[in-house]
Amino acid sequence: MPALTMTEKILAKRLGKAPSPGEHVVVPIDYVYMHDGTFPLALRVLREMGMEDQVDPGRLILFIDHAAPAPSVAAALVHQEMRRFAKKHGVRLHDVGRGISHQVMVEEGYARPWRIILGADSHTVTLGAVGSFATGVGSTDAAVAAVSGKAWIRVPEQVRVRLSGAELPRGVMGKDVALKLVSVLGANGAIYKALEFQGDLEALSLAARLTVSNMVVEAGAKLGLFPVDELTAKTLLEKYDVEAPRLYPDASAEYSDELELELGSLEPLVAAPPRVDNVKAVAEVEGIEVDQVFIGSCTNGRYEDFVAAARILRRHHVRESVRCIAVPASRRVFQELSRDGIIDVLAEAGCVVTYGTCGPCLGAHFGLLGEGETAISTSNRNFVGRMGHRDSKVYLASPLTAAAAAVTGRITDPRSLI
């Protein structure tokens, strides 16, 4: 038996043998999901192919999360169509307020180790943090997978990313690890590749791992897989009542490339506009004024992210010149935060709080930017015009760094406030 990587193990389990990188294989999938941004085109494809009635309700999952609740009549019509479709075909629909798809996929236990999952969204790679072979596709691929239960994939080359360091330094979060990774790889540095994380994983909580896996697509990667160890299995069981089988690579598995990240020397980072790999130390951009702060998204909308932000917002009010928008990724996250008094902390500090929408991250709704405005955001992309006007700017950062900017009105090293 040859030594296998995690990517090879998951594929070999389905195919009966480990395929080689570069090979095209057809694999069965466990789930395919779509949201209100990608569903309309998928439905159009299904209808054009005459296959709408053949969708497999056991495999397809729908989410209303990108513009939720509907900010326009056009969005409302899409949502209506999704509800009609779900009812007609018996497909599971997670409606307005349930949460952002990638977060809910974990909470509901759809995403588990060893599963193969496609999502009609590029950040589907988030689920690699719980050991799912999960990657983004377009609407046509998703529509076809919803009918056939299969997809063709190109087997990716696998890269080992070795993390070293017992814990993250003070003021450093999973987001800083993700930004460092993207800056080292570059925006095109991992195109078509599977990144497999190994080494000192105890330093990263499950929430931090989800943030790191979420952002591997910003280097072009197809997968960002973490081993499923005690920490992940325990968290999934305690939080979501999910029994997770372990997943590890074989010790002597071979990789096409290897990369090492030393966690102990990390400091708070930002990705300066207009590229995610344009990463700088906070110290290099300290003092830049911000008009808006967004804490949320599939990257950083989890419980731990708002607890971190609250460390600063508990003792300082949001500056008058700043709009601070806080959007927990799901209703469940909101309820956990509410139970522990964190929602009150955010509101008392002056944040606008809602939950369960992707809205601000992609400029869909709930806080777009005007001409010449600057935002600091915990989301994953800072492209030209991403969050609003084409002459607005977005700096990406951790929830701690975002909260620090909310209270000072300028990009600020969060270590000065915690």
Partner 1 sequence: MSLVVRGRAWVLGDNITTDHIISGKYKYSKMGRLEDMLPYVFADVIPGFYEKVRPGDVIVAGEGFGYGSSREHAARLLKMIDIGAVMAKSFHRIFYRNAINSGLPVIVAKRVPDVTEQGDIVEVRIEEGIVTNVTRGVVERVAGLEEPLLSILRAGGLVEYVKRHGRLPW
Under the rule (CB under 8 A), what is the footprint of partner 1? 24, 26, 36-41, 44-45, 48-51, 66-67, 72, 74-75, 77-78, 119-122, 124, 136-141, 144, 148, 150, 152, 154, 187-188, 191-192, 220, 222, 275, 362-365, 368, 381, 383-386, 388, 390
Torsion over CA: 147, 152, 155, 156 (sign):
negative
Length of the chain (residues): 418
Helices (H), 60-138: 73-89, 101-107
Smallest distance from the beta carbon of 175 to partner 1, in angstroms? 19
Q: How far is the CB of 138 from partner 1 (least distance, A)?
A: 3
List, in order, residues 6 or more apart from 20 with CB less than 8 Å away: 155
Least Å distance, CB 174 to partner 1, is 22
Nearer to partner 1, 383 or 416 (CB): 383
Nearest residue (CB) to partner 1, 256 versus 265: 256
Is 87 exposed, middle or buried, given 0-12, 13-18 or 19+ CB atoms closer than 10 A? exposed
* Whole-number Å distance between alpha carbons of 301 and 190: 25
Output the CA–CA distances (angstroms, integers) from residue 332 to 164, 235, 239, in the order listed. 32, 15, 10
Residue 78 or 337: the one with the smaller Cβ distance to partner 1 is 78
Least Å from the CB of residue 62 to partner 1: 14
What is the C-alpha to C-alpha distance for residues 259 and 257, in angstroms, rounded to an integer?
Answer: 7
Supply the minimum distance, in Å, between the C-beta of residue 364 and partner 1: 4
Smaller CB separation from partner 1, 45 or 310: 45
Q: Residue 339 and residue 236: Cα distance in Å, rounded?
A: 20
Of 65 and 304, CB closest to partner 1: 65
204 vs 180: CA distance, rounded Å: 14
Q: How far is the CB of 67 from partner 1 (least distance, A)?
A: 5
CA distance 136 to 222: 8
Closest to partner 1 by CB, 257 or 262: 257
